[in-house]
Amino acid sequence: MFKRFILLCLALVLVGVLLTQSVFASPKYTTKWEKINAPVNLPILMYHSVENKPGNGLCVPPEQLEQQLKYLHEQGYYTVTPAEAYKILVQNKVPKKHKKLVMVTFDDGYENNYTAAYPLLKKYHIHATIGLITSKIDTQGMLTLKQIKEMKKSKWVSFVSHTQNHQELDRLDEAGQREEMQASRTWLKQNLHQKPDLLVYPVGRYNEVSPKVAKESGYKLALTTQPGPANAEQGKYELHRQRVVPDMTQEAFAKLLQP
């Protein structure tokens, strides 16, 4: 009887170990986190299109993106996911072994995020977050659902909401804003089977009702285009970001990374 009990215990422990291993198989999740007292500053980089288009401030050429991602890799930056950004900003927790933190975001969901950026993310082990305009998926020049699914599966890319139609939210009434935020959230849930916790305001435009509507729609954080590192004191739904523009020197790029 006692022997049977011991065997049962051993079996339960074994099942437990196997389950934990399969859930936390990605090396990211083996990181130990520690709580610190002061609110954390997290630099969040903002990119858009990855292509060579001189004169267009929203387009960073692939060679420049490569230099920047290589720099993050060589300098030992820990590139955080949206869930980790919440942990860092709201719960004041940081990964124990990694003092240099950065979040890399791409707005709009251009197809070149797959053709030009994704190979570099894999090459330099950078985790990136793409804000999708859900009505533009599978349209000319934008990401296809197939590409999105492949990137998501790789674990190097997270997908969040950049609303349904990319309208400037401060021009919409509360119901209009709610529709933009909720329709995109529903799309992400249905097609990627995930709860998108993060919202990126189109063109950085929002007004006093936007944080409330974002919260009620189920988002946990929202990003603006206000410059500087993000900090919870800005408000969970008004987090700042650092814009990466074309032709930056390495010195200027490094400045964006300062917490």
Residues that bind Zn ion (CB under 5 A): 107-108, 202
Instruction: Kindly tell me which of 202 and 211 has the beta carbon lying closer to Zn ion.
Output: 202
Which residue reads 């349904």 in tokens?
A: 164
Nearest distance from residue 259's CB to Zn ion, in Å?
Answer: 25
Nearest distance from residue 27's CB to Zn ion, in Å?
Answer: 31
Instruction: Kindly tell me which of 124 and 219 has the beta carbon lying closer to Zn ion.
Output: 219
Instruction: Kindly tell me which of 64 and 163 has the beta carbon lying closer to Zn ion.
Output: 163
Q: How many CA atoms lie within 13 A of 133 on its CB side?
A: 19
Q: Rounded CA gap, 87 and 251, in Å?
A: 29
Q: At what angle do helices 174-192 and 145-154 cross, to 10 degrees?
A: 70
Instruction: Kindly tell me which of 40 and 223 has the beta carbon lying closer to Zn ion.
Output: 223
Q: Rounded CA gap, 212 and 216, in Å?
A: 6
Instruction: Kindly tell me which of 161 and 217 has the beta carbon lying closer to Zn ion.
Output: 161
Nearest distance from residue 108's CB to Zn ion, in Å?
Answer: 5
Nearest distance from residue 128's CB to Zn ion, in Å?
Answer: 15
What is the number of the residue whose Cβ is closest to Zn ion?
Answer: 107
DSSP 170: G
Helix (DSSP H) and strand (DSSP E) numbers for the chain = 9, 10
Instruction: Kindly tell me which of 48 and 87 has the beta carbon lying closer to Zn ion.
Output: 48
DSSP 110: B
CB-based contacts of 47, cutoff 8 Å, min separation 6: 60, 65, 104, 105, 106, 107, 117, 244
Nearest distance from residue 130's CB to Zn ion, in Å?
Answer: 11
Annotate 187-211 with b (16+ C-beta within 10 A) or e (fewer).
bbeebbeeebbbbbbbebebeebbb
Nearest distance from residue 32's CB to Zn ion, in Å?
Answer: 35
DSSP 194: S
